[in-house]
Every structure is written in structure tokens, then in C-alpha cells.
């Protein structure tokens, strides 16, 4: 069963990495990064569940990481909306003039 979960996690990481590297839209890049993080959390949570099921510490760590990840993505989308409203920029290559 662990191999199946790790295979799904590897698939999530692969699809997310491809999505993050191949897209031009800021929102699509963020969605790809979200998939990568979900794959890593799935792999970590599954490994802890199957290797040490009597310890609830790992489950709490996964829940805390999911909450932090959700807050981080909400802030990222808020920054993306603010950039779009200020400069009408929605593509990654168009946002390069935002440096310094």
C-alpha cells in the first residue's frame, strides 16, 4: 500500500513540476507549486503513517503544514491580484520589471 501512495505522490510532484515550469501565467505557476507541495506532504504523511502509525506527531505536523501552505497560497494570490490591479500584469515574463 505504501508503494501506491508514494507512486501517487511522485505523480503529483511530476505534474506539479511540469506545470510550474511550463506555464507563463502566474496563477498556473502557483497551482503547479501547490501540487508539488501536496505531493511532498502526501509522501511524508504516508511514510510516517506506514512506518510509525502509533505516533500522532506526524499527523499533526502534516495538518500544520497544510494550514501554513493554505495561508501561503492565499497570500500569494492576494499579491498576484494586487500586481494585476496595479500594473495589468498576469504573465511571469511581463512581471520582470517589478524588481527593485
Query: Is the entire prediction scored with pTM above 0.85?
Result: no
Q: How far is CA 93 from CA 4, 5, 29, 59, 74, in A?
A: 38, 36, 12, 39, 22
CATH 1.10.287.3510 fits 1-94, yes or no: yes
Summarised one tens digit per residue, pLDDT across range 12-34 is 999 999 999 998 888 888 899 99
Q: Cell 506545470: give the residue.
A: 19
pLDDT at 100 over 60: no
CA distance 66 to 34: 10
Per-residue pLDDT at 84: 82
Q: Cell 501506491: give the residue.
A: 4
pLDDT at 5 over 90: yes
- The domain limits of the chain are 1-94
Residue with more model confidence, 23 or 36: 36
Cα torsion through 80, 81, 82, 87, rounded to 10:
90
Amino acid at each position: 500500500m505504501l508503494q501506491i501512495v508514494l507512486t501517487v505522490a511522485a505523480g503529483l510532484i511530476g505534474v506539479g513540476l511540469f506545470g510550474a515550469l511550463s506555464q507563463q501565467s502566474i496563477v498556473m505557476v502557483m497551482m503547479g507549486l501547490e501540487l508539488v507541495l501536496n505531493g511532498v506532504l502526501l509522501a511524508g504523511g504516508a511514510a510516517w503513517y506506514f512506518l510509525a502509525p502509533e505516533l500522532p506527531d506526524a499527523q499533526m505536523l502534516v495538518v500544520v503544514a497544510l494550514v501554513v501552505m493554505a495561508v501561503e497560497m492565499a497570500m500569494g494570490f492576494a499579491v498576484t491580484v494586487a500586481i494585476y490591479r496595479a500594473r495589468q500584469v498576469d504573465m511571469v515574463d511581463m512581471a520582470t520589471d517589478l524588481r527593485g
